[in-house]
Every structure is written in C-alpha cells, then in structure tokens.
Structure 1
Amino acid sequence: MAEPLCDAERHELHTDAERRHDSNSPRRATPSSRQESHVRIATTPATNCYPPVICGSCGCNTAGPVWLTTEYDLSRVVPRPRSLMNAAIHVQGLNKTFSHKSALVDLALSIQPGEMVALIGASGSGKSTLLRHLAGLACCDRGNGGHVQVLGREVQAAGRLNSQVRRLRADIGYIFQQFNLVNRLSVMDNVLLGCLGRMPRWRGSLALFNREEKQRAMAALDRVGLADLATQRASTLSGGQQQRVAIARALTQRAEVILADEPIASLDPESARRVMEILADINRRDGKTVVVTLHQVDYAVRYCPRAVALKGGRIHYDGLAKDLSKQFLNDLYGADEDASLMITERSRRVRQPSRLTLAKV
C-alpha cells in the first residue's frame, strides 16, 4: 500500500492540479521537441483513499482522488483508412456455412455512401445470403464468422447479432423478390408500414398514422407512379406494380441504405426496366446507397456503375460494370456462351404479335 501523503504534499498536489485546470490562464504548456509525439492524458483516479484534510490556505478538501496520468505514443497510432471510416457498408472476413457447405468464404467488401452496386453471379453463389447478412436477417458463423457494419454501426460479429439491430434496420430498406406485401391491405396501408420502425410501439400496434406520415406515403406512391391506386387492394396489382409498392414502402421508411434482392427476377422486360430506373433515380437524386442483386448482366451494366461478382461464396470481380467482358461472364456463369446474359437493346423491345392467316381449304 502506498505511503500516505503529508499535508504539505497534499496542498502542493491540489495547487498544481488547480493550475493545470485553470481555463482562464493565458499560458498553455507546449511539449518539448523530445515529447512532441507524446501526450499525457488523465485517465483514472488512484486506488488509494486518504482521510479528508482541510487546506489551510483556501479551506478546500485536498483529499479528493489523485488522478494518474498515462503517456501515449501518438507516433505508433495507425490511423484508420478514411474509406473504411466513412463506408456505408463494411464487411470483413464474413463466413457462412450451411450443413457443412460454405456459402460465404472470408468475404470482404466495402461500399461508400451514395454508391449503386450490382451483385452478380450464378444461382447459389451467395448473393442473397450476403444481402441477408447485411440486413441482419441471417447470422454468420460462430467464432470466425467475421463482422458486418452498416452506416458505421455493427450489425453482427462472430456469429452474434447486435442487441440494437432492430433500431439499425430502420435505416435499411429491404426489397424482396416476392414483394412481401400484405395482400389483404390496401396499397396505401402497405406503404405506411414503412413508418413502423420510427413510431412508438403503441401507435404502430393501433395503426395510428399521423398526417405527416400519410403525406410522405402518398408522395412515395406518386414518385413510383401509383398514386391513383392508393386505395386498391394489394393482391389485385401486377408483379411490377407490387414491386413498385415495395420501393415506395422503403422510401416512406426513409432508409439510408436500400438492399434489393433480385427485384426484377419475376418481371417482364418493361416492368423490370421501370423498377431499375426508379432505383437508379433514388440513388442519383436522394444519394441513397443501393445494393441490388441481378441475374441480368445487361441491367447491371446499364444502371450500376460498380459490379461485384460472386462465385462459390467468394468475390470473383469488383470493379466497373462496363468493364465486364463476355469471356469473364462465360467463366463466371460456367457456360461457353449464354445469350441470356448479354441481352441486346433490340431484344428488349416489345414486338407486335404477327397476324395469322388461315389457309384456304
């Protein structure tokens, strides 16, 4: 145990601390040239407690905690890369195994705010699995599962979801391939469900939406071109219309990151084009980060500046979408030549049905 301080030492300690913490003092201590890369920072109070002693000069209690200082060598501190500090999505060492079969293998990915990124690859390459991990809908492997961060907040690490992941999901809009609408509700009610993540629980349970939320939902429907169908039952809409309702729901949610899992897989070419144009407009005008999984590579090249190709749970390519070559795509999809991968502009045009003539008997 440390030897107790005498009254004079305590008074000297108090006077020195008062001089160091005096904010009105015009003088400021500067480190010498030998200590320029070092900083002394007050950390924790000493464990020794002394009996209270009253200072004879000012009458204050000099037996307060004595603060220990720790010296840090700033020259040894490695600054974190700015790209990782500001990344909207950061994945490091992500691993996922299903029944002893690896779906994601040591995957690392960083996406900056405002980017529109296409995830491409064959079926089973891990695109949808990666997207579900970003939203916290699936959990990585225990131990060596890696970690996922979205908007600077940790979604999961080492096989455990963050306890605040539900609050984080309020900033992540997820667009499903099968729309995930409530068929018996109206279009307007489905869009208003995007407000639930930011509402008090009692108000959300009673579906008590205020005027501002209803106006925001109507504005989102107008943006996707479905304002005139606000009162219509969701089950009566076509596939393309239902997907646009799902996008309007994400807009009403005010999500900063939008994850779209094969949003055009079950749509006709015209509906697919319209859905992709809406997502690209959200990215361009609102500055939202958009990550979309696609099987149609030509849509990825047209609407997404960046493409990330997955194969066997690993990143096979990460770069400009326009630099994707036919040879690389054939290797990625394991086919010598697949015309469905590179659809030409002419093939997207809707052809008029040819008129049939009956042969005369």
Structure 2
Amino acid sequence: MQQRKLGPFQVGAIGLGCMNLSHAYGVPPSPEVGEAVLLRALELGVTHFDTAALYGFGANETLVGRVLGKHRSRYTLASKCGMTGVDGKRVIDGRPATIKRTCEEALQRLQTDVIDLYYLHRWDKVVPIEDSMGAMADLVREGKIRSIGLSEVSADTLRRAHAVHPVAALQTEYSLWTRNPEIAVLDACRELGVSFVAFSPVARGFLAGALTDPAQVAAFEAKDIRRAMPRFQSAHFAANLRLLDGYLGLAREAGCTPAQLALAWLLAKGTDILPIPGTTSLAHLEENLKAADVALAPDLVARLEALINARTVSGPRYPAATQVEIDTEEFAA
C-alpha cells in the first residue's frame, strides 16, 4: 500500500478504525470476528490502527491489545482519552488527572509500554485546552505516548493546543457528505504541519451504497448510533437517498465500488489525509483497502463534489445534544 505521513510516522494510506468491532453500530461482533478482522488487516499491510478508551468502554483497547500486542513492532497504534465510559455512561472529562489515569489503563489493556499517537477524544469545554494538552505533554516526556492528537476541534482550538505542545494529527469526520473540515481546520492543519485523519469516510455506511430503503434504517439495532443521527431520519434520509443514483453511476464510471469511490475521493484531496474506515466484514476490509489503487480523473472528482456537498446533503451530522459537545466549525444554516 502507498505510504503517508502520520505525524512522525509513516503508515499505509488507509488505516483501520477499530470502533465498530466493539461499539456504536448495534451489537458488536464476536471477539473471534474482531480478531479475524484485525489479523487480516495486518496481513494486508494496514499499519495504522485506531482505537479509544470509549469504544466498548475499554473492550476495544482490550481486543486490540490481545490480538495485536504480539505484533506491536509492525504497526502504529493510536488511541484516545478524554471521553470514557463511567458507570455505563459516556463521560467527557479532560482534567489532567483523568487523562493520565486513562492512559495508564489504556497501556495495560493495549499490552504495550507506549502509545504512538494519543488523541484527546473530545475537548472538555470546562477545562482549558491548555491544561489538557499540558497533561498529554507530560505523558510524552514520561515516555508513555510518542505524539499527541486532537479530535473534533476547531482551527482556533488546534492553534491554542499546538502552542502548548506540537500536535501530530487531528482527527474529525470527513467525507463527501461531511465537508466541515474544508471550512477552516484542514487549512490550519496544513499551516501547522498536522496530519489529518478522516473518520467515518464512507458516511457511516451511506456511501457504501447498500442503504437504499428507509426500512433498512428502521431496522437498525437499538444501540446503533445512527438511529439518533438526523441524516438517517425520515425526510432527511429520503432526501439523501435521491443523491444515491447519481453517486452509484459515478462509481461505475470510475470502475470501482461505491465505498472505494468515497475513499479514493478522500485520498485524492491531499497526501496529508488518512482515512480510517471501519468494518466487521473481511470482504469489506479487502474492498476498502483496494481503494488505494483507484485513481480518479479531475472531472469525475468535480462532478462528485457538485453532487454531494454541504448544500445538497440534508440534515446535520449529529443530534443537538451531541453537537454541543464538539468544537468543529459548522456551515451557516
């Protein structure tokens, strides 16, 4: 696979987001399925694995550590702090003591002495970003993490954090249907030399082309976070479905699958962009990784962007209660 820079590391252009092996999209697969996906990814040349304390409230870090710990020298390990499970509930807590405790717990679960890239999963807005970054800088000095990342923050917050300690990578949602990074933070990353990691690059499955009927959304499992996401609800979903025929036609023209088209578009947006699609399927894993071989003509990219963009996609990406927790720039209504 082609290589790209992730902070101080060189990794495969497409990484693996490990979240849905333990979290977020209904009942997670069995540990055996999770193990098979992780090992096959490693075998296929994935060298960037992304997890977090939040995912499965520690279960995902435990899975990654158990399965990949013995292969630790073969990949770059990213995890996250600042948002964890407490008494069965998701809690954002960016206090320095919490960050340091979470890191100690993560090191044990991940079966490693050091985490290569450690993100602040969410900025806790009651704690100055400088205080949270100070704690993470301490972890670098102590040799417990090698570099620092931020997730779902604005360009202004990135600059404030970077003034405390260099930020290696910024992670946020970026896909054809979530273009918010193009407002300001992507430019700020390039100005500061910060790698950009794109999560949900296939639009939480929408751009894979398999969700074509509102009945499928109605059948999402009770714990599937998409149930609460406006773009998958009622009139918004119906409006977004109207984009799909044109999108599938462009995938056929490009000679690739719909998911590969979504990933190839991101790869074409800059060599500093690293998508981390997640999957529970070996077939989808192999399909996603082959997107690195898809070259898109500039004209096709232009037609893609004209079809799916901030003006044509219906609905905000998060429900209101979640939206207030993030710091990313938003398009004007």
The answer to which structure has the higher helix fraction is: 2
Q: TM-score, normalised by structure 1?
A: 0.34
Q: Which has the higher contact order (CA 8 A, sep 6+)?
A: 2
Report which of the two structures shows the higher radius of gyration computed on alpha carbons: 1
- Higher strand proportion (structure 1 or 2): 1
